[in-house]
Chains A and B, each alone.
Chain A
Amino acid sequence: MVKLRARCIIVGDAAVGKSALSQMFRSDGGHFQKNYSMTAGVELLLKSVNIPETSDSVGQYIFDSAGRETFVGACEKMWGQPSVVCVVFDITSLASFNSCSRWLERVRAHCNGLQVPGVLVGNKSDLSSRREVEAAVAQEWAQSQGLQYHETSAKDMENCDAPLLSLAQAFYSLYQDRRQMIQGLG
């Protein structure tokens, strides 16, 4: 049995639903916060994710980081060295999608050149009638950046466990990879 630990940084524009998603991650889809409350700093949540078909798990230290520009500088100082990254946008806001590359760059600047597994999350999939970002477009950009793409609705509790699970699996396979490599060294 192995328990890995990962620092998971969640970023994206203000009001795309990062905190609602984080709460979903933590409560296994049990809690949707209906009222908007702006995150002014970083909120830390802890969630253990089991790796299917093993007895292993990844403890995710989720850093839900403010999206409002005013607070970003202060938040970045809390990130430390990220293990995995989750970039969130709102599928009804093209502007929030266009910001994703800037968010990703910001996080990668803290990674000391390390390979950091990541996901792109298109949130608010319940509002598909107001969709401004096609899934295919998001998928393509995600792929070009080495990210896995997921669409979620924190409100409808739709697919909310997928992003964290895919991050946990990616981090887990990175661990297995390194373990085997080191085994060959001794």
Chain B
Amino acid sequence: MKSVKIENVSKQFGQVYGVKNLNLDIKAGEFFTFLGPSGCGKTTTLRMIAGFYYPTNGHILFDEQDVTRLPPNKRNIGMVFQNYALFPHMTVDENIAFGLQVRKFSKAEIQHKVDRIRGQVHLATYGKRKINELSGGQQQRVALARALVIEPDILLLDEPLSNLDAKLREETRVEIKRIQSELGITTIYVTHDQMEAMAMSDRIMVMENGDIKQIGTPQEIYHRPINRFVANFIGETNLIEGTIEAIDGEDIQVITTNGLIFIGRKQQSSPTFTHMIGDKVFISIRPESIHLGAGDNTLTGKITFVEFTGISVNYIVDFTAFSLKVMIIHSYDQIKSIGEDITINVAYDSLYFLGE
């Protein structure tokens, strides 16, 4: 278990920057996630931590040790690849034992360690199987066992769930989280799936175009996104453009382009946002925070889309200058249809203000 420190790291591919001036502290034992759309630099960063790329500039430290130019085989890392990268010419046990053989453990020790880890990933009876005789989920667990058995200082996971079907993905997600917290190992997880990131991580780093947009706990990222990109990327949200009309103590009053007025709490805004009357502002409203009927910030609009998902009824409601995604939970008796008018309200504390 080691901490990871990234200092001013950049990686250039020819003229293009993969990541630029990255600074990051990952605590020992933390489950840390790099989240972002494809091409944002998250895999590049992971591969630099693993040692498959060397940074163009900057330093990478494991605890106090500078590993910037240390080859991957000297870093004592465990890595799980997106396609698992299992050795097809070896059995399950041979795959798991590979890293132990490299470390020159005795035969008996290897067998002992392999048996134990195989039990932990629920593959106790699969030792002699060939890789191509396993299902996708089983292969995934072999890859995890192979990475963990060497007792790495840091576990690196590169989109490990993306090749599994939806149901298996959820099971495996729970499984990885369970093993990680049992072992208490520092884990860096790369994904583009915000649900996965939210569910598993202690902290999340949201990236875009090679830059860090925000680092924080899942709650911070979800409830206090720093800008429109993060708000949009994490969960679903409605962004309404408007202008600050008045600031009155704790209250902030915004008028939209078609003259609708929203009133919210001043503190409920991005830390980088400065409040000045006449400023342009974006209001973020999560679909699930909208309720039926009158209340704070009451609006009436026309339904243009209805969808029943089981848990909720989802609407899209048109307000001429903008439309809102609305998610109503537990109200099966009053599903409305397209074309009907609907009255909704958004609580004073549910408005969140963002700058440009």
A and B: interacting chains: no
Using a CB–CB distance below 8 Å, which chain B residues touch chain A? none
Using a CB–CB distance below 8 Å, which chain A residues touch chain B? none
